A = this chain, B = another copy of it.
Amino acid sequence: MTREHFEIRDQDGLGRIGELAVPRADVTVETPALLPVINPHLRTVEPSRLRSEFGAEILITNSYIFYGSDDYRQRALDEGLHEVLGFDGAIMTDSGSFQLAEYGEIDVTTPEILRFQREVGSDIGTPVDVPTPPDAPREQADEELATTQERLEVAEGVDVGEMLVNAPVQGSTYPDLRERAGRHAAATDLDVFPVGAVVPLMNDYRYADMVDVIAGAKRGLGRDAPVHLFGAGHPMMFALAVAMGCDLFDSAAYALYARDDRYLTVRGTEHLDDLEYFPCSCPVCADHEPADLRALGDRDRERLLAEHNLHVTFEEIRTIKQALRAGDLLELVETRARAHPAMLDGYRALTDHADLLEREDSASKGAFFYLSGESARRPEVLRHRERLARLSLDPGDSVLLTEGGPSDRYDESWRVLAPFGPFPRHLSETYPLTAEVPERMDAEGHRSAAKGVARLAEANPETEFTLAHHDWPERALAAVPDRVATVDLAE
């Protein structure tokens, strides 16, 4: 089903540039987008500056804080959130589910909080879902998901006017529950789809589990749903999450981390005390050295660190958008995967979902860069291998598959390129076979090419094959069937 308020403009794997129309704010938000979290009690950076200096088109605040606040409740009802916060972009509001997860209960129902969100002028509201933590017993996850699903159905019945409504996807760490939750949520007439309760996974650097959870939700939600990775604010994992099909992120981290003197980078988090040089050139880091910031008072230091954290966060969103336009998002993910071994786990988990990526990936992009053993598991490589299983050659013909030049001594002569394997020469100029590959290819790449040879040989049992390779290691050649003759060109 096509969703009324979300349009996909450009796609690379599961990642995409989209437009989320937010009618109540009369704003179109370009995705991937970052929503800075505003705590009305602690405005580290003024919302008006978020728009003018950092380019934020949308932010998020917690309606439950306004709902329960003596200071803010009436003001929000009288003036509206946009006026109270001083922000003229789109405003999404959370419902208090976080407080529910933290403190066990809250004193508001889905219809009450949705109506309140509408009354204070929220542009995207949220029902009271139940965030089931990772590794919960399956029975609990199942029961709580049923409750969330009931709340979504209740939300459908509430008159929210032009306000869009979130439909959170829960299911703990059970991919099949996440998939069921996604399918149910997508079938409602709600608008935006937060993947919920993933913060504990991110806090524990469980990026592979995070990828599996997102994959489950995406399988259920389908392509057209705008997906919010709820609570994800560290720029280190944005590229990975976008490559899994996430469109919206929200960051409380920029301010929370700043309060603890923590400095965000795309390679992790640093404590200000451990920095002698700023690995950044944002306006804060171009003007200061770490020692300068350490010498400041708490308030100024916190504000400048929060500004740096916002700069690097929005910079990563722009970097990802540029990669999406250029069609090299997976190349960016390769780079980001080297931030931490747990990020590498996340990237390796992504390649386990190559079937899902392959389904949506465009067949032609700029250039395929082979950047690590993981590149041998990219969707393009699997797609080529599947294709080999469907190519038929004349039975009885002799075919040379070679990394070198063609030879007249065979009926046909195909090229071989690791990690893809063999292909007819006339495909040499087509994507992804125009790939840039290292001269020092690794065993994973050679092994992947050997698997391609095996696939072609299986599909053509009556054809005679000879593989002429350049110094492939024994552990790659082991994947070539015995009936394929091999010649080492390097000997």
Contacts and interface: CB of A to CB of B under 8 A. Distances in A.
Nearest to A474: B478
A276 B322 contact: yes
A435 B340 CA distance: 11
Contacts of A208: 439-440
User: Which among A277, A339, A436 has the highest number of chain B CB atoms within 10 Å?
Assistant: A277
A335 B339 CA distance: 7
A91 interface: no
Interface in A50-84: 53
A334 interface: yes
A439 B338 CA distance: 14
Work out how many copies of this chain go into the complex: 2
A349 B438 CA distance: 11
A279 B238 CA distance: 14
A443 interface: yes
Interface residues of A, number: 58
A330 B475 CA distance: 27
Contacts of A322: 275-279
A283 interface: yes
B372 A338 contact: yes
Contacts of A439: 208, 345
A56 to B, nearest CB: 13
Interface in A254-289: 267, 274-283, 285-286
Contacts of A318: 277-280
Contacts of A341: 369-371, 436-438
Contacts of A339: 335
A323 B443 CA distance: 30
A276 B373 contact: no
Interface in A220-237: none
B444 A443 contact: yes
A348 interface: yes
A312 interface: yes
A331 interface: yes
A442 interface: yes
30 contacts: A53-B286, A267-B331, A267-B332, A274-B326, A276-B321, A277-B321, A277-B325, A279-B315, A279-B318, A280-B281, A280-B315, A280-B318, A281-B281, A281-B283, A281-B312, A281-B315, A282-B282, A283-B286, A338-B371, A340-B371, A341-B370, A341-B371, A341-B438, A342-B436, A344-B372, A348-B440, A372-B372, A372-B374, A373-B373, A475-B475
